[in-house]
């Protein structure tokens, strides 16, 4: 093989190895080759079939009920699947408070640190993430009240604005992961 390898450029060798690996993968054979300059690997493993990740245009976002407990204020953000197929959400949404001119007030919400799993949403079903602050200036001042929450669904680079009067107090602004229990 070394004689033939010298006849190929580095790119030609990489392309040739990739083509061989693809041919073997199509035939159901796992193969791996490594040279000093490139590597090509093909396997027959496939990604597990599951619902696709919900995109922003698949979702309607709204605010649930505000609740207070033990000096904290909790407010759930509802994510409703408006598409015609099921989709999945996993992890934490991005959340920040905005004023009427859509300028951010203070830092974005931090994560609660709670563990999470994938939530599959059939069409018309909802899941939520809960945002939290303190119920007044307990250990720190309150920022000015925002008019909107800017929310990025998990795994999304696009956000939507949800009308919500939100005041972050005592340097506490956190969000929990997407879940179906409505918990922080």
- Mapped onto helix, strand or coil, the DSSP state of residue 9 is coil
Buried b (16+ CB within 10 A) or exposed e, 114-143: eebeebbbeeeebbbbbbbbbbeeeeeebb
Band of residue 47 on the pLDDT scale cut at 50, 70, 90: low
Tokens standing for residue 151? 């929310």
Q: What's the mean pLDDT in 93-119?
A: 97
pTM: 0.72
pLDDT value at 72 more than 70? yes
pLDDT at 48: 61
Q: Which class is domain 52-175?
A: mainly beta
Band of residue 141 on the pLDDT scale cut at 50, 70, 90: very high
Q: Where are the domains of the chain?
A: 2-42, 52-175
Q: Which residue, among 132, 128, 117, has the nearest Cα to 180 in the 3D structure?
A: 128
Band of residue 184 on the pLDDT scale cut at 50, 70, 90: confident
Q: How many CB atoms lie within 10 A of CB 64?
A: 14
Write out pLDDT tens, residues 1-26.
333 333 334 444 444 444 444 444 44
Q: What's the mean pLDDT in 94-123?
A: 97
Which phi-psi region, left, alpha or beta, contains residue 89 (left: φ > 0; alpha: ψ -120 to 50)?
A: beta
pLDDT at 25: 46
pLDDT value at 112 more than 70? yes
Write out pLDDT tens, residues 121-136.
999 999 999 999 998 8
């Amino acid at each position: 093989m070394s004689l033939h390898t010298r006849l190929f450029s580095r790119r030609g060798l990489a392309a040739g190895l990739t083509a061989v690996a693809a041919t073997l993968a199509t035939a159901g054979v796992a193969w791996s080759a490594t040279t000093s300059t490139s590597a090509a690997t093909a396997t027959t493993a496939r990604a597990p079939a599951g619902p696709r990740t919900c995109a922003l245009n698949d979702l309607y976002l709204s605010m649930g009920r505000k609740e207070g407990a033990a000096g904290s204020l909790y407010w759930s953000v509802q994510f409703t699947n408006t598409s015609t197929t099921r989709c999945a959400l996993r992890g934490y949404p991005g959340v920040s408070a905005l004023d009427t001119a859509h300028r951010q007030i203070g830092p974005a919400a931090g994560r609660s640190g709670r563990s999470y799993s994938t939530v599959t949403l059939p069409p018309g079903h909802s899941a939520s993430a809960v945002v939290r602050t303190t119920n007044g200036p307990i250990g720190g001042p309150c920022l000015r009240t925002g008019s909107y929450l800017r929310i990025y669904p998990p795994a999304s680079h696009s956000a939507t604005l949800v009308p919500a009067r939100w005041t972050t107090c005592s340097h506490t602004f956190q969000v929990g992961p997407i879940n179906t229990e409505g918990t922080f």
